[in-house]
Each structure stands twice: as structure tokens, then as C-alpha cells.
Amino acid sequence: MHTDFQAPVKTPAPPSPGARPLPGSQPMPTSSAYQPTAEDMQKQMHLRRLQADQNLPLGAIAGLAGAIAGSIVWALITHWTGYQIGWMAVGVGYLVGQAMRHVGKGVDKKFGLAGAGLALFGCVLGNILTACIEIAAYEGMGFFELVGSLDALSIVGILFLTFHPMDLLFYGLAVWTGYKYSFTEPS
């Protein structure tokens, strides 16, 4: 006797919420899996284009130029006015950040870190140049003659003698400004 009997096919039940797949098994695809939209894919492509255009070395050179220019302006203003204006440090950080952002075209946070370091460098250099202008005038010697005679120990001594606790506040603001303006947050 021959019968055409077929056993019913069982389909697996969907997993209950919070259920874990067994070790070594593949999780079952669900309809709620994330599917990127066309807009998401366009944003990713835009970000990749921005990242391809980045140039950290060129941005750092521009930031260094901004730090040096800002420190010179800071030293000259301090010399001409007779006052050390702490907000000049923020200006140095802003100048560094803008130079890095526009020339380096950065979108990664490493541009911000470089900008923060260069802003701090510019502030320290501004204090050193200010002190050198004053020392050269007091000693009756040329500025470049004095700068040419400095060694690392002399520079540390100048920084130690001219340090004021308020400098930390303005250095911190300069570092934050240099970080913030050195890269563009992709939208």
C-alpha cells in the first residue's frame, strides 16, 4: 500500500523578546534590523570626502604660523601698553584654530589636539617674547642679540620669573579655543 503522506513542515517560532541565540548559532534576522536610509548613506559619503581632503601636516604648519604671529602681536601689544592682557591668549588660540581649520580642512579630533598644543606653544612664546623685549630695553641691547644669546635654562628661568597663577586660566582658555576651532564637526 502506497500513500502520499507528507509530514507537516514546522517553521521556527520567532524568538521571544530578550532571548539570546545559542552559542555558535546565527541570530535570526528580524524586520526591525537597521537599514540605512539614502540620507544616512549621503552623510557617510560626505564624511568620507571631507576626511579624504584633510591635511594634518599642512594644517599644523598653518597653526604654527598662527601661533608665532599671535605671540608676536601679543608681545608687541604688551610692550606698547605696558599691560599683559590675558585675553590675548584666547586670541592666539583662535588664530591657531582658524589657521588649522581653513588650511588643514580637518574633521577629526586629532586636528583639535594639535591646535590645542600649538595654542599653548603660542602663549608660552608670547610670554617669552614679551620678557625679551623688556629685558633688551632695560639692558640697552638689541632684541635679536638677546634672543640669540638665550639657552634652554635661560628660557625656563624667564618663564619661572614671569609666571603668574592667572596665566593658567588664560592658557587653559587658549588651549580650549585652539582645540575648538581647529576642526569642523561634520553635519
The string of pLDDT tens digits covering residues 47-78 is 788 777 889 999 999 999 999 999 999 999 99
Domain contains 149: yes
Number of structural domains the chain divides into: 1
Share of residues in the chain with pLDDT > 70 (%): 81
What mean pLDDT is reported for the chain? 84
Q: Are 182 and 97 in contact (CB under 8 A)?
A: yes
Asked if the structure places residue 16 within a domain, the reply is no
Residue 156 lies in a domain: yes
pLDDT in tens, 86-115: 888 999 999 999 999 999 988 889 999 999
Flag whether 93 is in a domain.
Answer: yes
Range of the domain at 110: 55-181
Strand stretches in 33-136, DSSP E: none
Q: Give the tens place of pLDDT for each residue, 106-153.
A: 888 999 999 999 999 999 999 999 999 999 989 899 989 988 999 999
Q: Do the domain assignments include residue 35? A: no
Angle CA 86–92–95, to nearest 5: 145
Q: Is residue 4 part of a domain?
A: no
Query: CA 122, 125, 131 angle in degrees (round to 5)?
Result: 145
Cα distance between residue 42 and residue 101, in whole Å: 23
The answer to the question of residue 102 being in a domain is yes
Q: Percentage of residues in the chain with pLDDT exceeding 90?
A: 48
Can you give the pTM of this predicted structure?
0.73
Which grid coordinates belong to 32? Answer: 526591525
Q: Does 25 fall in a domain?
A: no
Q: Which residues of 14-46 are buried (b: 16+ CB within 10 A; e: fewer)?
A: eeeeeeeeeeeeeeeeeeeeeeeeeeeeeeeee
